[in-house]
Amino acid sequence: MSMLEVNDLQVYYGMIHAIKGVSFHVNEGEIIALIGANGAGKTTILHTITGLIAPKGGQVVFEGKDITKTPAHKIVELGMAHVPEGRRVFAQLSVYQNLKMGAYTRSDKNEIEESLEMVYKRFPRLEERKNQMAGTLSGGEQQMLAMGRALMSKPRIILMDEPSMGLSPILVNEIFDIIQSVSASGTTVLLVEQNAKKALAIADRAYVLETGKISLDGNAKDLLNDDSIKKAYLGE
């Protein structure tokens, strides 16, 4: 059984039909990439999965449970974390306080401390700057903080929205290395990314979204070599 299943998702913004019958699945342990041009509906799909937008039709099933009408904060408790687009950190709080906010659904203090140590180990720069206001961090550090904060909820699956956006090439490589290490440590990953080349290089499978519909899906390595993908998304 898939960990996450999206069945015939229909989403409207007013009269605009943004997501037109999208279906896909994510198996436990996979890195799944959702790629597509700007405005194709990638972020809308993530927002619908995590309960921030209510769909008009269709179903989202997480670990066998229908979560289509479950409120967003309850979805976090079920083991799903969302790293939103644009590095939404709490600018006026310290790095440490931001990370603690990520664990608000958990009550075991010892386990929370363990998770904090794990995040600091994975992101040494966050530990160096733990008392610094999050708003004063660089873009790359804020992205690391947003990822670290999501990991503090000890998720079974993490949904990442454009983690490489606006970062320098060196930092992009670093962020993708971190995504792979998060995956290797047992967290399933659903990655929305405009940098199709990087996303396909680390993903197991991928879905291509075009104006609210899935136009292509398959093994990520095969899609990397697909001529239509090369032309449309890889600039080749």
**What is the DSSP code string of 166-228?**
T--HHHHHHHHHHHHHHHHTT-EEEEEES-HHHHHHH-SEEEEEETTEEEEEEEHHHHHT-HH
Surface-to-core class of residue 62, CB atoms within 10 Å of its CB (0-12 exposed, 13-18 middle, 19+ buried): buried
User: What number does CATH give the domain 4-233?
Assistant: 3.40.50.300
Q: Whose CA is closest to 25, among 9, 5, 8, 1?
A: 5
Q: What is the pLDDT along the chain (236 residues), one digit of tens a residue?
A: 799 999 999 999 999 999 999 999 999 999 999 999 888 999 999 999 999 999 999 999 999 999 999 999 899 999 999 998 877 899 999 999 999 999 988 888 888 999 999 999 999 999 999 999 999 999 889 999 999 999 999 999 999 999 999 888 998 999 999 999 999 999 999 999 989 999 999 999 999 999 999 999 999 999 998 888 888 877 76
Helix extents (H) in the chain: 42-49, 72-78, 95-102, 109-122, 124-128, 139-151, 169-184, 196-202, 220-224, 227-233
Do the bridges between strand 157-161 and strand 80-83 make them parallel or antiparallel, or are there none, so unpaired? parallel
